[in-house]
Structure 1
Amino acid sequence: MATVLFDFSGTLFRIESTESWLRAVLAETEMSLTEPELTQAARHLDAVGALPGGSFPSRPIPDELAPVWEIRDMSAELHRAAYTGLSRQVPLPDPALHDALYDRHMTPAAWRPYPDTAEVLGALRERGVAVGVVSNIGWDLRPVFREYGLDPYVGAYVLSYEHGIQKPDPRLFATACDALGVDPREVLMVGDNRRADGGAAALGCGVHFVDHLPVSQRPDGLRPVLELVG
């Protein structure tokens, strides 16, 4: 394989826990909850899937949000509307916290690279393998890569909200291949979502899946990529 495309969330990086997310925003806004209240609120936020990159909703999506949810990654406005809509199902001390929570998840501080992310990206660069990032997302993730010193390894970022196309639509993967000037048949797509990331197979790309786990539980999930590219 001459090129590797990576998903972002759950593949190269992982979002903080829902409790850490809520705790950070309460501190930033100088609001407080008792520990039992905080624990309960975090549990409910997790259940409704309010944290982008966190748990998928374990409760049915409210009818009024369902149409937006299906296309949430096609624009910044839809992404915010979908996730703040889910968040607002959970009572918080101040309604403004729902937007503050959304804003927090877009900051580099809310993300951590997996332990082997830098190692694998660095090894691919040494081998002359081009790298792209293809993500269903509603905001610019480039500052996250810059914060962790990983931006130099990435030759192209193809983000759904910038193109109005979301995975598994093959056109998003084709855009990444065009940006890197490569034949899709020489590309390996690495991601954690079989449906979304599996869409690359329609172009003839190889596909490899990793487990969407907390950073501490997946120390070397990306290393098999180095064997696959030869």
Structure 2
Amino acid sequence: MTGVLFDFSGTLFRIESTESWLRAVLAETGHTLPEPELLDAARALEEAGALAGGADPVELPEELAEVWAVRDESAELHRAAYTGLSRRVTLPDPGLHDALYARHMTPAAWAPYPDAAEVLRSLRERGIRVGVVSNVGWDLRPVFRAHGLDPYVDAYVLSYEHGVQKPDPRLFSVACAALGADPREVLMVGDSREADGGAATLGCRVHFVDHLPVTDRPGALLPVLDLVG
């Protein structure tokens, strides 16, 4: 293998819990909620699927189905999808929905998996080029910089910057080209068999990890080092 492509959310990083997300925004904006109401609101937001990188909606509203299907193709669609879901939950101030969306794009909202730095550093030491291929509606590069992982990434290929989202093979093709690598010599690592599995269309080898909380997945990325040889 001459290159490895990684998904972002659920693969290298994990978003904070919905409760932590809501608590942080309430604190940042000076709002308070009684504890039972806060917990109820957090549960409702999670069921709504309002946190990007978190759980999918339990029930997708018909009026949001079209934008949801293509949400990662532009920043505008991504915002519309997630703030639309968030607004299905009543909060003490309508402005909190935009604040919640803004919060999820900050480095503080994300934590790298425990083995991410070790694996990326080892790949760099072996001379294997690394790309990040993500279905996302915002620039995640600051997250990598803030957590010290940016020096190990050679290319970022983000769906909203190309107007196409995984599993469309065109996004993986752009990523392989950015690494200067033949797709048949590239390993794609991700947590979604549907989205990340699209890389196999080009001849990439694909390896899947489970989208688990950071504390529950201490070493799932380490096998990547054996797979690249």
TM-score (norm 2): 0.99
Who is 1:29 aligned against?
29
Establish whether residue 105 from structure 1 lines up as the match of residue 104 from structure 2.
yes
Query: Structure 1, residues 148-189: CA drift from partner, whole Å, max 9, x if none?
Result: 111010000000000000000000000001111110000000
Query: Aligned-pair distance for 1:202?
Result: 0.2
User: In structure 1, how many angstroms separate the alpha carbons of the residues matched to 2:60 and 2:43?
Assistant: 17
Give the structure 1 partner of residue 227 of structure 2.
228
Specify the code of the residue in structure 2 equivalent to 1:38. Answer: L
Specify the code of the residue in structure 2 equivalent to 1:112.
A
Q: Verify: 1:73 aligned to 2:68, yes or no.
A: no
Residue of structure 2 equivalent to 1:53: 53
> What is the CA distance between 1:42 and its match in structure 2?
0.3
2:38 is aligned with what amino acid? L
User: What is the rounded CA distance, in whole Å, between the counterparts of 2:139 and 2:66 in structure 1?
Assistant: 23
Letter of the 1:52 partner, please give it: A
Is the partner of 2:62 in helix, strand or coil?
Answer: coil
Quote the residue 1:40 is aligned against: 40
Q: Secondary structure at the match of 2:132?
A: strand
Residue number in structure 2 paired with 1:151: 150
Residue 6 of structure 2 aligns with which residue?
A: 6
User: Once superposed, which parts of structure 1, at least 4 consecutive aligned residues long, lie more than 2 Å away?
Assistant: none
1:121-173 CA deviation, whole Å, 9 max, x = no partner?
01111111100000000000000000011101000000000000000000000
Q: CA deviation at 1:56?
A: 1.4
- For residues 60 and 193 of structure 2, the distance between their equivalents in structure 1, rounded to whole angstroms, comes to 21
**Which residues of 2 match residues 201-212 of structure 1 at below 5 A?**
201-212=200-211
Q: Tell me the secondary structure at the aligned position of residue 64 of structure 1.
A: helix
Deviations 1:31-70 (A, max 9, x none): 0111000000000100111000011112x21111000000
The count of corresponding residues between Structure 1 and Structure 2 is 229
Distance in 1 separating the partners of 2:217 and 2:46? 21
Q: Which runs of 5+ in 2 are unaligned?
A: none
Paired residue secondary structure (1:211): coil
SS of equivalent to 1:94: coil
Q: What does the per-residue CA deviation read over 1:177-211, in whole Å, with 9 as the maximum and x for residues that have no partner? A: 11111100000000000000000000000000000
- Normalised by the size of structure 1, how large is the TM-score? 0.99
Alignment correspondent of 1:15 = 15
Give a deviation string over 1:207-226, Cα, whole Å, max 9, x none. Answer: 00000000000000100101
How far residue 105 of structure 1 moved from its aligned partner, in angstroms, is: 0.2
2:212 is aligned to: 213
Distance (whole Å) between structure 1 residues aligned to residue 147 and residue 3 of structure 2:
22
